[in-house]
Amino acid sequence: MNNPGKIGGGRLTRAEQNNDTRREQTVKMPRRKILARLWQYLGRYRRLLILAIALVLLSNLFVLVGPKLSGMAIDAVGVGAGEADFPRVLRLVALMVACYALSALLRLLLQKVMLRLRRNVIYRMRKDVFDSLISLPVGYFDGRQTGDILSVISYDIDTVNESLSGDFIQVLQSLVTVVVSFIMMLTIAPRLVLIFAVTVPLSFFYTRWIAARVRPLYARRSQRLGQLNGFMEEMMDGQKTTKAYGREKEVLAAFDEQNEQAVSAYTRAEYMGTLVGASVNFINNVSLALVSVLGGLLYLSGGVGLGDISSFVQYSRKFSGPINEMANIIGDLQSAFAAAERVLRLMDATPEKPDAPDAAKLEAVRGDVTMKNVDFGYTQGVPVIQNFSMHARAGSVIAIVGETGAGKTTIINLLMRFYDIDRGSIRVDGKDIYHVTRDSLRRAYTMVLQDTWLFSGTIFDNIAYGKPGATRVEVERAARAAMIHNFIVRLPKGYDTMIGDSGANISKGQKQLMTIARAMLLDSKMLILDEATSNVDTRTEQKIQAAMRQLMEGRTSFVIAHRLSTIRNADHILVVDDGNIAEQGTHEQLMAQNGPYSKLYYAQFETY
């Protein structure tokens, strides 16, 4: 047995469980690391990437031949009409048209390649994020809004994908254009190139300075948008409660505040992002003006020809243009970095630790469960369960009762390893659950919770969810036992009827009965019922109790119930108070003791 003061094989410590949140709040991911991780997604599709790069190079080279041909055509025309070589001019013009046409065709092919690459990247990234979500422990979602997580999966991934596919090609095109244009300008008029020795470094350092100030603004924008999505998701879920309490004005005011914060963050980020492009454009326009003036002076002094001046001006525009475009996409890149950081942090969140090296499958389960000296707290330093011990014999019915917040559901979470204990041990059939595989442990249980969950699909699929391959006869038998069969057959398509998201088109009681039918379909040796009949009326509950007794027969059952009348026949009742067992025994024994259980019981009797 492990040292009680340490976490054994496969357990996740409280510090480790909270590590992701602290890292998100305090440590920024280095940009190089973000770029390296994003490059891995492009690297998965090397053939498409290499083809895209080749198309970029060829299409830009054909375009960049144009200014040189244009200058040659101007020189072929000459100063006077008698000096013109029109056949040569026409050949050069035809060659220019051919180059531009080929470039346009190659760019069309490039768009198709990039469309396919974008599709593959976004599919893979979303899959990796969702795979990461599925592997995370339940505790990860406790302190995070669902809307914020959905914002990462949708908005942030879209932002990253646009940057990977669009900005990557734009940067590559700009790089090719700048390099080739610079070489061509050097061959035409080296002295004019000295102008860019001043303006280009000025643009570079200014862009670098402003980018360092823009990135936090885009990170703030993504954060505020995630918070806004989380708020809207909460309000949509609680719409009936909002209307019932007449809180529409307060909700609208809260939304306005959240919306204002999101819009303000968006505006500040976009303003600073566009300021970069405008400023760099001004510097480039100054450089073009200087090129025109000095070029004219060189022409008048005979240092350069008219055609060369024309070519140089065109190349200088192509040289300056990409620099300006790079400045314009700085905002997009900073937004992409901020979004990528959120996406990568979600991917890097600490998953459930792998099973211990010596973990074995839990087989031939009898259902003998022991918890010994267990300590646990959802937050480090705030214990919920302290020195808790209990023993459930195989096939027995264990009822767990107590006031709200006493720790009843927490015990169930620990039995299923939704959370890992801080100290102590939990054993099933004498085997430490931290030395058996999670999958086999959880398959040994059947669970019915107070919070029902149904997915968009047929009623048959929802009931058969826990038993792939279940037959129609098996599903109908389970539905009859759960008292829901008659309701189902009255529906237009019976068991093939589609139900909406979370069963929105059926009542809470009917949803509860379907989840009970789902549990009845399984043959696991241990059963957990957490307020499983809380959403049904008393008469239906009495009918279900008879079916549940059949379901519990031969199984170790853990029953949490606020209606104490439903657990009177339990083999053993645990009364939990502040994370400890206040008293235990049968219903008759606990009533005779006149302690906490009897007070709870009589309080309900008086209430009902």
pLDDT on residue 131: 86
Give dist(CA 472, CA 437) in Å, integer: 31
Give dist(CA 378, CA 300) in Å, integer: 82
Contacts 24+ apart (CB under 8 A), 199-204: 199/283, 199/284, 199/286, 199/287, 200/323, 202/283, 203/280, 203/283, 203/284, 203/323, 203/327
Read off φ and ψ for residue 568, nearest 5 degrees: -60, -30
> What's the pLDDT band for 2 if we cut at 50, 70, 90?
very low
Provide the H-helix boundaries in 157-195.
157-162, 168-188, 190-193
Read off φ and ψ for residue 209, nearest 5 degrees: -65, -45
Tokens of 272: 């600073």
pLDDT on residue 244: 64
Read off the pLDDT of each residue in 238-257 and give the average, rounded to a whole number.
75
pTM for this model (two decimals): 0.65
pLDDT on residue 443: 86
pLDDT on residue 426: 93
Other Cβ atoms closer than 10 A to 227: 18
Give dist(CA 242, CA 176) in Å, integer: 58
Of 117-126, 277-286, 356-365, minimum mean pLDDT range: 277-286
C-alpha distances out from residue 549 to 220, 396, 601, Å? 55, 12, 21
Specify the DSSP element, H or E, that contains 287.
Answer: helix 248-300
Which of 606, 604, 483 is closest to 542 using CA atoms? 483
State percent of the chain over pLDDT 90. 3
Are the C-beta atoms of 457 and 519 separated by less than 8 Å?
A: no
In the predicted structure, residue 535 carries a pLDDT above the cut 70: no
Q: β-strand 572-577 against 580-585: which pairing, if any?
A: antiparallel
In the predicted structure, residue 11 carries a pLDDT above the cut 80: no
Alpha carbon dihedral 61, 66, 68, 70, in 10-degree steps, equals 180
Give dist(CA 367, CA 394) in Å, integer: 4
> What's the pLDDT band for 427 if we cut at 50, 70, 90?
very high
C-alpha distances out from residue 1 to 222, 419, 432, 433, 441, Å? 47, 19, 8, 11, 18
Residue of 277 and 477 predicted with greater confidence: 477
Tokens of 83: 């000096």
* 526-530 sheet: strands from edge to edge: 445-448, 526-530, 556-560, 397-401, 572-577, 580-585
pLDDT on residue 209: 76
Give dist(CA 608, CA 595) in Å, integer: 20
Instruction: Kindly tell me the sign of the dihedral angle through the C-alpha atoms of 47, 53, 55, 57.
Output: negative
Which of 160, 161, 203 is closest to 178 using CA atoms? 203
* Predicted confidence (pLDDT) per residue in 483-521, tens digit: 889 888 998 888 998 886 665 667 777 888 888 888 888
Q: Amino acid letter at 537?
A: D
> What's the pLDDT band for 408 if we cut at 50, 70, 90?
confident
Read off the pLDDT of each residue in 566-595 and give the average, rounded to a whole number.
85
Give every CB contact of residue 181 below 8 A, 6+ residues apart in sequence.
64, 315, 316, 318, 319
In the predicted structure, residue 208 carries a pLDDT above the cut 90: no
pLDDT on residue 505: 65
Read off the pLDDT of each residue in 298-324 and give the average, rounded to a whole number.
70
In the chain the domains, ranked by start, together with CATH numbers, are 30-348 (1.20.1560.10), 369-607 (3.40.50.300)
Read off the pLDDT of each residue in 230-237 and give the average, rounded to a whole number.
73
> What's the pLDDT band for 219 if we cut at 50, 70, 90?
confident
State percent of the chain over pLDDT 70. 80
**Averaged pLDDT score across all residues of the chain:** 78
Query: Rg of the chain's alpha carbons, rounded to an integer?
Result: 35
Give dist(CA 37, CA 347) in Å, integer: 11
CA atoms within 13 A on the CB side of 69: 19
Which residues are 575's β-sheet partners? 401, 583
* Predicted confidence (pLDDT) per residue in 22-64, tens digit: 455 445 777 788 888 888 888 888 888 889 889 988 888 888 8
